[in-house]
Amino acid sequence: MTILNNIALEIISDGKGILAADESTATMTKRLDSVGVSSTSENRLAFRNILFSSESMRKCIGGVILYEETIRQSYNSKRIPEIISNMGSHIGIKVDTGAKTLAGSPHEKITEGLDGLRERLKEYYNLGAKFTKWRGVYIISQKYPTKLSMKSNAHALARYAAIVQECKMVPIVEPEVLMDGSHSANECLEKTSEVIKECFSELMLHNVDLSGLILKPNMVLAGSDSGDKISSDEVAKLTLECLKNSVPKEVPGIAFLSGGQSEVEATENLNLINKYNNTKFIMTYSYGRALQQSALKYWSNNVEDTKGTQKIFNHRAEMNTLAAQGKWSKDIETAQ
């Protein structure tokens, strides 16, 4: 398990974060459609390869989460995992098969994908994967998330993590409490804390080595329909309160998802979390849209302009790596 702890630390230490490039074909199609680019296998690969071969990969990105399509692809006769590892980053893979309706609570979801997981993991390991990701999703309202949702998803996350460690890889455990809804930030704090505590209860029950995993939670935010947006200062303080009371000290680090925040919001909130962080947890990023969106918009205007697209991606990655060290500022953001 020392090996797994070392891999986890290599992914998230020294300000490095994780590029979440594991969008399903359906999600990537929506992203490409939104900028007027046809979602062909070739176009999806071309954009992702621009990111994977960017200079910021060397100093900012410790790990890349891939989708099943991408881990098997090659670009100019080089396998994608080889391109990523040559940039000094670890290869990860999304292994859940998506959130489905939870039997017994039809407004909630349960993430599936445990059937055949062990066999798939062996294949991904042979393709170069060193870490994995599984996402559970939870909604907030007066009656949600239910105990059924919290226990069912925590159980699935724990079973997944145990199998992943058995297969010599680091599991990213992602319990995402969605920001959709009219709930307050304090309600988000309460529910997120419950969800994370339930996850670790199950992880320990399944004998998962907590020093060999990475937690990927949401930040504590007011619901998107609440009309009560809180300041970045409040986001940071509430998020730290949640994690200090919910996460066992053995966990090496926490890589936040951006969860509907704009690129700059996700950076600013991460920066303040690190300024206030008085724990031993490494606090970094595992962003998808908040790392890629500006680069995607630029690329859509001229798919041949690789250098221009990489410049925009490099800037976003560098800003988040500064934020992961508490060194970002609005002046630095706008100066470059």
Tell me the longest C-alpha to C-alpha distance in the chain.
53
Query: How much is the average pLDDT of 35-49?
Result: 96
Tokens of 5: 């702890």
Predicted confidence at residue 302, as pLDDT, reads: 94
Domain ranges of the chain: 2-335
How is the chain split among helix, strand and coil, in percent rounded to 5? Answer: 50, 20, 30
101 vs 205: CA distance, rounded Å: 25
Query: How much is the average pLDDT of 57-75?
Result: 97
Query: How much is the average pLDDT of 299-317?
Result: 97
Class of domain 2-335: alpha beta
Catalytic residue among 78, 216, 297, 311: 216
216 is catalytic: yes
Tokens of 166: 């058995």
Predicted confidence at residue 149, as pLDDT, reads: 98
- Amino acid at residue number 256: F
Q: What percent of the chain has pLDDT over 90?
A: 97
Tokens of 244: 């200090």
150 vs 175: CA distance, rounded Å: 9
Predicted confidence at residue 232, as pLDDT, reads: 96
Predicted confidence at residue 260, as pLDDT, reads: 85
Closest CA to 216 of 135, 308, 290: 135
84 vs 320: CA distance, rounded Å: 19
Query: What are residue 171's DSSP bridge partners?
Result: 132
Q: pLDDT for 225-276, tens place per residue?
A: 998 889 999 999 999 999 999 999 999 999 999 998 999 999 999 999 999 9
